[in-house]
Chain A
Amino acid sequence: MKPTLILVGADKGGVGKTTVSRALLDFFARKNVLTRAFDTENPRGTLKRFYPAISEIIDLGNVAHQMKVLDTMETANVPVTVVDLKAGNMSYALDMFDRIGVLEAARAGVFNLGLFHVIGPSIASLDEIAEIAKYMPGVNYVVARNFINETNFFEWDAATQRKYFAAIPKAQEIAVPKLNEMAYEQVDLAGVTFKDFIDNQAADGSPGKFSFVLRGYVRKWCSEIDEQFAHVKLVQDLLTGGRAPQVQ
């Protein structure tokens, strides 16, 4: 199967981009899909705190680091590479990938490429979609609305949706559900993955002492977000190995 490169980006900070990256990594771990991750929030990336074994902090502007990500996709023996793009740098990253031929390689079928675009709650976020639309042919594009903090999002009417997605006809949309604030804080404080928090496992592998109630809330949230991810075609292809589902 072709390797898969998933970019997670946002054109502003604070919309929950890294949370979406963590949720994706957690999802793949729970589905036993081998994954590696690169955090471009150089030098203080968050992903490495939660996924030390599979994450690396890089500077995407550095050629050697670009090579580390892209040149090893086929040889790393890990089918999925997740790159958490620096907040505010999504358009820059896409432009760079376009210039160095990454987008063309994806269109040519060398690997699968997906972009999870995490947008903010205001309608101005829709302009971000218009800005990056030119890069999206051949890319599995997913708009992610992050409700983890119960943000009130603008409502999309059909006309607005058609207008902005006209240039990205195969765009998909997911909603990251709300997670109880205390549960989210405790996972963060513990410095463990969502899965390990649910399993009551501390960062050093020893049994944790996490609240049963908060673990329950996280378990429920993971189950809800699994449903969201499972609708994404790119993810479906990964889970089925690119095979069409068997008709029963």
Chain B
Amino acid sequence: MLVDYLLLDGHDPFIIDANVPEGHLRSVFPGRTALVDFDQVQGQMTMFDTILGSLGRDYVIDIPAPQSEHFFASLKELNFAEEATRVGFQLVVLFIVDKDFASLNAAEDVRAAIAPNLLIPVRNAYVGSVLGSAQNGLMIDMPILDREVMSIVEDRRFSLRAFVLGDESRLSPPASKKLKIFLLAVLSAFGDIEPALSLSRLKNG
């Protein structure tokens, strides 16, 4: 959804999908996705050297939960955040905080380790979260989406972008309405990221 939002907003993101071997994102966004095995040095090189070698573009990195700790530890070890900032990137981390307090602690560990420009907690209503409503700063809420609608959306032949731009042919009217309510919540929150980044820049000089 984030990639679709960026494309709709006129950006040209490149995706790095670390979900080997499945590579779901690569099947949805062929031609602008690299599938990398982050456990291998070659995969790490593909990821970081690609980003640092091609500046001026947005990058979306999708890290599966089991690799999250290793990924952020590598980021810290390699001083990636510092180098990325030096060459003009802003680092935004979207971290799903579930019902386990360990995930909240993990999010804070990430914030402490790499000091991103923004760390945005994400609450997925489908799995639940330890996070309450009263949070300082930006938080993204993903409402529950009907299973039937979700299965259509997850089909790689379905284009969220096309739907947002008016093509509702693949969904029944009720399903279409449910998806619109869902997207309104999520895409609105994505729209708050850029202002939050600007505010962060102002605060930190």
Q: Does B83 contact A (CB under 8 A)?
A: yes
Q: Which of A46-54, A110-118, A125-133, A214-222 contacts B (4 or more CB under 8 A)?
A: A214-222
Please report the C-alpha to C-alpha distance between residue A214 and residue B78 in the assembled complex, in whole angstroms.
Answer: 9
* A183 CB contacts on chain B under 8 angstroms: 41
**In terms of DSSP, what is the predominant structure of the interface of chain B?**
helix
Residue from B41, B48, B49, B83 within 8 A of A180 (CB atoms): B41
Does the CB pair A216–B79 fall under 8 Å? Answer: yes
Please report the C-alpha to C-alpha distance between residue A219 and residue B78 in the assembled complex, in whole angstroms.
Answer: 8
Please report the C-alpha to C-alpha distance between residue A216 and residue B80 in the assembled complex, in whole angstroms.
Answer: 9
Does the CB pair B45–A214 fall under 8 Å? Answer: yes
* B52 CB contacts on chain A under 8 angstroms: 212
A199-241 CB contacts (< 8 Å) to partner B: 211-214, 216-217, 219-220
Q: Which residue of A lies closest to B75 (CB)?
A: A216
Q: Does A182 contact B (CB under 8 A)?
A: yes
Smallest CB–CB gap between B76 and chain A, Å? 10
Q: Which residue of A lies closest to B42 (CB)?
A: A182
* A213 CB contacts on chain B under 8 angstroms: 41, 44-45, 48-49, 78
Does the CB pair A220–B77 fall under 8 Å? Answer: yes
* B79 CB contacts on chain A under 8 angstroms: 216, 219
Residue from B45, B77, B80 within 8 A of A211 (CB atoms): B45
Q: Which residue of A lies closest to B46 (CB)?
A: A213
Q: Mark A180-206, 1 if CB is under 8 A from B, else 0.
A: 101100000000000000000000000
* B78 CB contacts on chain A under 8 angstroms: 212-213, 216-217, 219-220
Please report the C-alpha to C-alpha distance between residue A214 and residue B47 in the assembled complex, in whole angstroms.
Answer: 12
B75-90 CB contacts (< 8 Å) to partner A: 77-80, 83
* B45 CB contacts on chain A under 8 angstroms: 211, 213-214
Q: Which residue of B lies closest to A210 (CB)?
A: B49
Please report the C-alpha to C-alpha distance between residue A212 and residue B49 in the assembled complex, in whole angstroms.
Answer: 6
B43-96 CB contacts (< 8 Å) to partner A: 44-45, 48-49, 52, 77-80, 83
Residue from B41, B77, B80 within 8 A of A182 (CB atoms): B41
* B44 CB contacts on chain A under 8 angstroms: 213
Chain B residues near A (Cβ < 8 Å)? 41-42, 44-45, 48-49, 52, 77-80, 83
4 more A-B contacts (CB under 8 A) besides A213-B41, A214-B41, A219-B79?
Answer: A180-B41, A212-B80, A213-B45, A216-B80
Chain A residues near B (Cβ < 8 Å)? 180, 182-183, 211-214, 216-217, 219-220
Q: Which 8 A-B pairs have the closest CB atoms?
A: A216-B78, A213-B45, A213-B44, A212-B52, A211-B45, A213-B48, A211-B49, A212-B48
Sampled A-B contacts (7; CB under 8 Å): A182-B41, A182-B42, A211-B45, A212-B49, A213-B45, A213-B49, A213-B78
